[in-house]
Structure formats: structure tokens, C-alpha cells
Amino acid sequence: MHYLWLVIKGSFIGISNIIPGVSGGTMAVSFGIYDDVIHAFTHVRKEFKASMHILLPLVAGALIGVAGFSMIIEWLLAEHTLYTAFAFVGLILGGLPILSQSFKESLFETKRKATPVHLVLFAVFFIIVSWMGVADISGSGPETISLGFGPLVALFLVGLVSAAAMVVPGISGSLLMLIMGYYYAVVYTINGFTSNLAAYNLAEMMPFTILLMAFALGMLVGIILISKAIDYFFVNYPSFTYASILGLVMASPVAVIANTDALTDLTTGNALVKLVVALLITLACYVLTFALGNTKDATEEIPEETRA
């Protein structure tokens, strides 16, 4: 049962990475597993068994989320933008009680009190995510991409930066790809690979496969580098790290609503009714995340003496 909860949490994390403005890292924080997942990833050699008990069901859930729900989420965003966006806002906010408690515990364990430095870190990261949410992003850049040394290097770098962003709460990897101008090129590459795979056209599939391998390699390097950096901060500066993450997470609803243009739905008829329904959905998703965040799962297998 512990592993099933991780699969469910992983599916929500996978779904969240599909949507520009929503961060998989934020969902991991909301479910109360973020620091444990970072620890498992960076200590996979030293604590292989315990790390695999966390990472395997989580990755399996994320793949299920991406493969099984991407089309549904796209449809919901297109047809029911307001309700879908507010659902994700509720999912994000539901993790705040757990995150706030972790911040308080980090202060207690390090025998610190909240200082102006904590407030500055909170404000800086809140502003960064809020700006990314409201910034004018045209998505200008290549909508197609061909095989060559330049495109391979570009996709590697895009994969590196976007994967690193996916790990950081509040920063959307897909939104960052939009800012860099490569979101549609990556989508084109993925669609080219899947369509040729379905048609069993191996010759046409090969260039897309090589391009995706460069992107995947960049993602792997990005995740490893940023995970090690974050784990270092959790171990050495836990209260400052939690203060920064609080800023990132609390600004995430701004990014979600802005990037989905959710409030546009309120300009049509029955605005008050729609808003009430949206808020009820937010509340329901808040309760769902809070409940999932308090479930027992395989993260408890991490040895206490090695935790941050």
C-alpha cells in the first residue's frame, strides 16, 4: 500500500510537468516527499535499496501520468480552463501546511529563529516565479528541428535547463522551454518519434530518436546536478532552503492562473457561479493534497541518520 501511494503521487507529478506554469517539484513539495526524493536520488549508490523503493514507484507513476492523462489534461485545459487551473491551485496550496511545519522544524533543529534573511529569500523566489507567470512569453523559436550538430547541442542544453527547473519547486520546465523558444520544437520531436513508431517507420524514426536522446541526456545531467545542489542546501542550510521553497510554492498559483489565462472564463456569463464552483474545486483538491501528504509511503525507508 505504501508503494501505491507513491505511484499515485508520481502520477500527479507527471501530469503537472505537462502544463506550462505548473511544476512537478511543487507537487512533490505539496505531497510532503520533495526532500526525501532529492535525498533518494543523490544517495542512490549509498542507499540503493531504500532509494529504489522510492524512485521506482514514483517514476512509474509519473510515466502513467504523462502517458495516460496528457490528452485528458489538454482537453480539460482547452474546454474547462478555469476549473482545471483552480484544481491545480488547490493541489499546490494543500501542501503548504506540511511545508510550513517543515520550515518550523528546521528552525527548531538548527536552534534558529526566523530572520530578515529568511524573509528576503522568500520574497526573492516569490517574485521570480510570479514574474515568470505574468511575463509576456511569445514562444518564438523553431517549431520544427532537424538532425545536426547544432540542434543536438541545443536540445542537450534545453533538456539540461528544463530538467533542472522541473526539480526546483515553482519553476515549470515546460514554461522555461517556452521562454527559451524550444517548447514547440521539443513537442514536434516527440510527436515525430511517436507517430513514426506507431507506423513502424524505423528509417524516419531514427533522426527523431537521436534528437530525443540528446534531450534526454541533457535532462539526466540537469537532474543530477540540481539534485546534488539542493541536497547540499537541505543538509547545510535547511531553514533557508525551506524559506526559499515557501516563496516558490506560494507564487505558483499566480503562474498557473496567468499561464492558462484561466480568469478569461469569468468574462462570459454566469461568472459568479463559475467562480464559486472553481473555489469549491480548489478546496476539494486542497483537501486531497493534504490527505495524500499525510499518507505513509516508502519515503519512510530512508535511514533517519542520513536525512537532511
Q: What is the pLDDT along the chain (308 residues), one digit of tens a residue?
A: 678 888 888 888 887 776 666 677 778 887 888 888 888 888 888 888 888 888 888 888 888 877 667 667 778 878 888 998 898 888 888 878 878 888 888 888 888 888 999 999 999 988 887 876 666 555 445 556 777 888 888 889 888 877 766 677 766 666 677 666 777 777 778 778 878 888 888 888 888 889 889 988 988 888 888 888 888 888 888 899 889 888 888 887 887 788 778 888 888 888 899 999 999 999 998 998 888 766 665 455 544 444 44
Side-chain-side CA neighbours of residue 29 (13 Å) = 31
Residue with cell 536522446: 213
d(CA 37, CA 10): 11
| 167 grid coordinates | 526539480
- Measured CA to CA, the distance from residue 237 to residue 147 in angstroms comes to 43
pLDDT value for 171? 66
Closest by CA to 157, choosing from 189, 192, 186, 187, is 186
Nearest to 136, CA basis, from 258, 284, 16: 258
Contacts for 68-75 with beta carbons within 8 Å, 24 or more apart? 68/11, 69/11, 69/14, 69/15, 70/15, 70/18, 73/15, 73/18, 73/19, 74/18
Q: Whole-angstrom Cα distance, residue 232 to residue 241?
A: 10
Position 120 scores a pLDDT of: 95
Half-sphere exposure of residue 46: CA atoms within 13 angstroms, side-chain side: 10
What's the confidence (pLDDT) of residue 142?
53
Residues recorded for the chain: 308
CA–CA distance from 213 to each of 48, 61, 157, 207, 209 (Å)? 25, 22, 12, 10, 6
- What is the reported pLDDT for 45? 82
Cα–chain-centroid distance for residue 22? 6
**CA atoms of 171 and 164, how far apart (whole Å):** 9
Task: Please report how the helices 149-167 and 183-198 are oriented relative to each other, as an axis angle in degrees rounded to 10.
Answer: 110
What pLDDT was estimated at residue 306? 46
pLDDT at 154: 84
pTM: 0.67
What is the SS3 assignment for the chain? CHHHHHHHHHHHHHHHCCCCCCCHHHHHHHCCCHHHHHHHHHCCCCCHHHHHHHHHHHHHHHHHHHHHHHHHHHHHHHHCHHHHHHHHHHHHHCCHHHHHHHHHHHHHHCCCCCCHHHHHHHHHHHHHHHHHHHCCCCCCCCCCCCCCHHHHHHHHHHHHHHHHHHHCCCCCHHHHHHHHCCHHHHHHHHHHHHHHHHCCCHHHHHHHHHHHHHHHHHHHHHHHHHHHHHHHHHHHCHHHHHHHHHHHHHHHHHHHHHHHCHHHHHHCCCHHHHHHHHHHHHHHHHHHHHHHHCCCCHHHHCCHHHCC
